[in-house]
Structures are given as structure tokens and as C-alpha cells.
Amino acid sequence: MRKKIEILAPAKNLYQGMAAVNAGADAVYMGAHMFGARTNATNSIEDIAEMVRYAHLFKAKVLVTVNTILYENELEACRQLIWELYQVGVDAIIVQDMAILEMDLPPIAIHASTQANNRDAAHVKFLADAGIKRVVLARELNIDQIREIHQASDVELEFFVTGALCVSFSGNCYMSVANGERSANRGSCAQNCRLPYRLIDGKGETLIESSHLLSIKDLDLSDELPNLVKAGICSFKIEGRLKDIVYVKNNTSYLRKRLDAFLDAHPDKYEKASSGRTFFNFEPELDRSFNRGYTDYFFNHRKEKIGSWESPKSKGQYIGKLLEIKANGYRIENYELLNNGDGLYFINQDGIADGALVNIIVNDLVVPNEMKALAIGTEIYRNLDAEFTRMIENENSAVRKIGVNMWFSETDNGFSLRVTDEDQHTVIVTQEMAKEPAKNAEGLIDNIKKNLAKTGNTPFIADEVHVDFSQEWFLPNSRVNEIRRAALEQLAEVRVKEYHREEIPLVKTEHPYPVKSLDYTFNVSNSMARAFYHRHGVTDIEKAFELQWDPGKSRVMVTKYCVKYELGKCPRYQRETMGTKLAEPLTLKHGEVEYKLKFNCKPCEMEIWEKDAEFVIEEDED
């Protein structure tokens, strides 16, 4: 049996979800009106039901995020929500809180969110044995760790491949709570990691006055799709439930083309996870929509700097260097790539991310809406591509169609049209009418075929059309169109009705959890989650950070990202070139808010602590 490989796209709302399916997504994930980890991307049950119907037409799935931690008074509302989602046809829910596995649930598939500490084989196998259908792996994992997890369990594995990166271990960032009591685990991340910080060393000297020191580039693993498939990943996830439709369609279309090329080269092993094919009226390019520059993160182990320190905003597509400044405009390399209305991005002479809009291009002169002093040689990027945006926002820029074969024949009392789609769904529509021999038979059969093939705005495209008559019958175009419309409408209904949703009853288990003690990073915030872990042998359980925060003294983040490495001062990888050691502890300061940095070289991790925290500075690893 061939393995299904899936592209999973974000859906901020119904419109963007439908656009993602049209652009080639095999599945979409979206939030309901409660308990999703993006409070600005919520959807009504009615819109989710409509999304389900549209997706299922193409055999695509709809996954709903129920991935906040839950407080005691929310447990019943969450259970009721899951039942509602099941009743409208949702394929799976994505969860963080293990309380959900204690509830009386319908037989809906459950996926473990990346916020559920999915970083090692033992934990992932435990979740699989507990009834989890799919695990969304932590972004920090490298290919060797992914292979190890896959070898330990046959659970489905999902991995982020494009989009913004959370600098923290997912689900373990508490900066937002500590700096304003907005919990990322409750859907209200304030994105403190994207703020500018001053870097101060242990002697009180300022090393960097102001830079976005925790902001990192966006992820692009599109070149690694074949390696990811072979390592065990079955679902490629696009980050971005808060992004615009240009980003969603561009990312989805780009990955669709890249994945299809791989699937076409391995037809005996793998197949697309949904039906239909997409026709594009644009050429997708990742750097032409929102991005901060790209990195493969740690997939190929630590090998490059990944910070996006100049700005947390979109950098966009590289155009070229500034060649000359004239009185009212700039001469820029590759200026012919630019269009009126484009947004330019550059680092100004003060070292600050800046920009301008293109008013007009006269010959080779780019005239902006505001002239800014720039050094010759400044690199110019385009972070608003006006023409590309107009092109991709057109509903017809990505159109998805399901292939059908048609057989039109005569009956004793009229005519019959049989339509079979690429998944072997079949409908037959008959039409009674008097049959009259055609007075002029020239081109009659070809004309009937042409009218039958006019599938228009339906989700179908005619791959083959056959007409089988004993003689040429006179048939008005209107009657041919009528029978075609009826057949395709029925076929759409049949596809949705006959869609098979996998149903998985939840069976409570008692197999042991890999560890006996859980700290606050396991985010246990209610009695049902506590009962779940106790039943699986855990004896010591801390409360979630949100329920026990000690202001000023807590560790608020653990990350594989490392400020020392970005500065070229890593004693593990850069010892020969690092020069003098930094005086520790290093401190990040934004306004009155301060954080201390702790570096754990053995696991190659960095911790962020509040200013009053006390910890021992460990010796650097040789």
C-alpha cells in the first residue's frame, strides 16, 4: 500500500481555508471559537461545518485546534465543543492538554500539538500508546532525531516545513505571562521575543545597544521534503493562522509543486493524500510573500546563524544593491523586477530596518514616496510585491479540479449521462424526451462533447467525453447543459456523502509515562490532566506556570537558539575563532524589563530567566 503524504495549510477563516484547498492543500487546520492557541483566528461552528463540506469534496481533511491549556471551569465546555466538532464532520482535533484524554469523547482522531513536549522517542511512543493518532513534532529536532522517533513508533508524524519559528521550545515559553500576564498557552502570546533588546554583559557594559536579539528567521525546509518523507514524516505543516491569504496561497502552492514532483518520481511508494489537481495562474515563490529571511533551523544540526536581528517584520525578496542616488530616485540593481506600488526594505545608515514605497519607475530610476539617505551598496529587498499580490488575490489564481470521465448515450425514452470521477464515484442521470433524427448531422457529436465538457465553475474537469449513439439525434444545447449540470451537482453531493472519516474510539490506558516527576513545563492546569498522569504512574506533578508564577524569579524560556552562537562566541562550535570569553551573566533589557541568559552547553540550550532569578553559571564545555 502506498503511503499518503499530506500538505497541511493554515486557515485563519473559512475563505482562507477554501483558498488553501484550492491551492493544493490536502488538509487545513483552523481554530474554533474557544480553546485555540490563536485567539485572533477563531471560527464559528457553522463556518467550520462549511469548511468541512468543501474540503471533503476534494477528500481533504479539516483539523481543529483545541490546543490551549484548560482551567478547571472550562473542562465541560471543552468536551461539549469537541462533540460539536465531531458532529459537523471535523476529521481530527489538535490538543495540548492531556485532560482531553480523560473526557467522554466521540470517536474522533486526536493529534498531539507541538506544544505537548514532542521532542523525544519515549514521549512520542507513550502518546501513541495512549491513543494519539498523530504527533506534531517539535521544530528543533534534527533529521537523526526524527528518524529515531519514527523507528520507535508507527504513529503518524507531522512537521513544520515553512513559516515563522517560535524561538522557545513550543509550549514552554512564559515570557508573555511574566511580562504582562498574557499566556501563550492560553492563545494570547504577546510576542516578547520580537521586541528590541539591549545586551549587557556581567560587568554592566552594553555590548549591543538595541537589536531584536530573540527574533529568528523563518523556516524553509522545502528542499528537504524527500528526506523528511524518508525519515517518517507524513504531514508537512505550514505555520500561519494569522497570516494573509497571499502568504497562505503562495506557501501552499509552492509546496504543492515541490511535493508533486517528488510523488511523481516515486509512484509505487507514495501518493497524494487528497483528490483533484490544481491549476495555477502564477508561479509561487516563497520569498515573494511575508518572510524574515529563511533558515533550515536545526534540521541539519547547528551550522548557521539564524537570527533576524534587524527587524521582526517581513524582509521579503532580495532585489539588488543600490548603485546610485539621484535627486529624486535610486538606481538599483535588477530594477526591472520592481513595479509601481512595491514596498522596499533596507537597512538605513543608522543600522535600522527602514523602507519606502515605489511611486513610479522612470527608465532605470526608481522614484520612492520618500527619499532616504542610504549608502551606495545598500542591499534592497521588496517586502510588498504589488503585482504578485494582485495576481494571487484573484480567486482564479489557483483553481482545483477533480477529473471525470463522461459517457453520454441514448435510452429507449431519451438520453443518459454517466459520470465517473477519479475516485470511482459514479452518478447516472437520465432525461426523457422525444428523439428526432438530426436534419444536419455535421459536427453534431463534436458539439455535444464540447457542451458536456463545459464544467465551468464546478469542481470538476472533463478528462474524457464519450458519446454513443445508434444514429445522430437532434439535441438542443440547453438539454445537454441541463443533464450535465444535474449530473455534476449529484456527483458533488455523492463525494461529500461518501467521504470516509476515520473514527477512533478513545480507550483509556495505564502504561507508564517515561518519567515519574513533571515540572511546570508540562502545563498541568486542571484535575483531569493530573488524573491522566497519575493513572500512568507519575507521582510528582507541579502546577502549570500560570498557576504558580513567582514574579521576577522564574525561568521563562528554554531554547536551542543561542545568543552566544549568533555573536560568534560559542565555546562548543566557535572556540578557535571566538577570542575572549563574554563576562556572564548576559542580560537582555527592554525598557524596565530585564532577563538573564543561562547557557547550558552540554545539551546545547539557552535559558531565559527573570532578573531576580538566581542560578549557577556553568563552565563552558570543552
Instruction: Determine how many CB atoms are found less than 10 A away from the CB of residue 128.
Output: 20
Q: Please write the tens of the pLDDT for every residue from 384-393.
A: 999 999 999 9
Give the range among 16-20, 41-45, 365-369, 533-537 with minimum mean pLDDT: 41-45
How far is the C-alpha of 220 from the C-alpha of 217, rounded, in Å? 9
Contacts of 558 (CB under 8 A, 6+ apart): 168, 169, 172, 521, 605, 606, 607, 608
Q: What is the tens place of the pLDDT at every residue in 141-155?
A: 999 999 999 999 999
Q: How far is Cα 451 from Cα 430, in angstroms, rounded to an integer?
A: 17
Query: Residue 397's Cα: distance from chain center in Å?
Result: 20
405 closest CA partner among 370, 453, 336: 453
Predicted confidence (pLDDT) per residue in 564-613, tens digit:
999 999 999 999 999 999 999 999 999 999 999 999 999 999 999 999 88
* 69 grid coordinates: 491549556
Residue 141 main-chain phi, psi, to 5 deg? -70, 145
Query: For residue 520, what pLDDT is reported?
Result: 94
Give the model's pLDDT for residue 621: 54
Domain with CATH 3.20.20.60 in the chain: 3-165+220-288
Return the pLDDT at 522: 96
pTM attached to this predicted model: 0.96
- Asked whether the beta carbons of 317 and 387 are under 8 A apart, the reply is no
Q: Where in the chain is the domain with CATH 3.30.420?
A: 401-497
What's the CA gap between 91 and 85, in Å, rounded?
A: 9
Are 17 and 31 within 8 A, CB to CB?
no
Are 356 and 368 in contact by the 8 Å Cβ rule? The answer is yes
Q: Which residue type does 47 have?
A: D
- In this prediction, residue 241 carries a pLDDT of 92
Identify the helix (H) or strand (E) that includes residue 460. Answer: strand 460-468
Mean pLDDT of the chain: 95
Q: Please, which pLDDT band fits residue 620 given cuts at 50, 70 and 90?
A: low
Q: Each residue of 197-236: pLDDT tens digit? A: 999 999 999 999 999 999 999 999 999 999 999 999 999 9
Q: Cα(273)–Cα(91) distance, rounded to whole angstroms?
A: 13
pLDDT digits (tens, 9 = 90+) for 250-264: 999 999 999 999 999
pLDDT tens per residue, range 11-23 = 999 999 999 999 9
Rounded CA gap, 474 and 50, in Å?
Answer: 41
Element spanning 52, H or E: helix 45-57
- Span(s) in the chain for CATH 2.40.10: 299-384
Q: Give pLDDT tens digits for 439-466.
A: 887 888 999 999 999 999 999 999 999 9
Q: Which pLDDT score is estimated for 356?
A: 97
Considering the domain 401-497, what is its CATH architecture?
Answer: 2-Layer Sandwich (3.30)
Burial of 432 (0-12, 13-18, 19+ CB in 10 A): exposed
- Which position has the higher pLDDT, 92 or 1? 92
619 pLDDT above the threshold of 70: no
Rounded-to-integer distance, Cα 371 and Cα 379, Å: 16
The two most distant CA atoms of the chain are separated, in Å, by 100
* Sign, CA torsion 146/148/149/151: positive
Q: Reading across the β-sheet that carries 593-600, which strands appear in turn?
A: 206-211, 197-200, 586-590, 593-600, 605-610, 555-559
What percent of the chain has a predicted confidence (pLDDT) above 70? 99
The position carrying cell 474522533 is: 108
Task: Give the C-alpha separation, 446 to 452, whole Å.
Answer: 10
Q: Is 318 helix (H, G, I), strand (E, B) or coil?
A: strand
Cα 437 versus chain centre, distance: 58
> Is residue 286 left, alpha or beta, with left meaning phi > 0 and alpha meaning psi from -120 to 50?
alpha
Cβ-based neighbour number of residue 280 at 10 Å: 17
Question: What is the third-level CATH fold of 299-384?
Answer: Thrombin, subunit H (2.40.10)
For 114-139, the pLDDT digits (tens) are: 999 999 999 999 999 999 999 999 99
Ramachandran assignment for 282, one of left (phi > 0), alpha (psi -120 to 50 degrees), beta (any other): beta
CA-wise closest residue to 611 among 115, 12, 209, 200: 200
**What mean pLDDT do residues 371-380 have?**
95
Amino acid 615: pLDDT:
86
- Find the helix or strand (DSSP H, E) in which 479 lies: helix 477-497
Among 315, 308, 309, CA closest to 355: 315
Q: Cα(330)–Cα(77) distance, rounded to whole angstroms? A: 59
Residues 6+ apart with CB under 8 A from 268: 2
**DSSP 8-state secondary structure symbol assigned to residue 543:** P
C-alpha radius of gyration, the chain, whole number: 28
Which candidate, 125, 83, 127, places its Cα nearest to that of 107? 83
Amino acid symbol at 268? D
- Domain 3-165+220-288 CATH (choose: 3.20.20.60, 3.50.50.60, 3.30.300.280, 2.40.40.20): 3.20.20.60
C-alpha–C-alpha distance, residues 35 and 47, integer Å: 16
Q: How many CA atoms lie within 13 A of 168 on its CB side?
A: 24
Cα–Cα distance list, 616 to 347, 597, 605 (Å) = 38, 11, 15
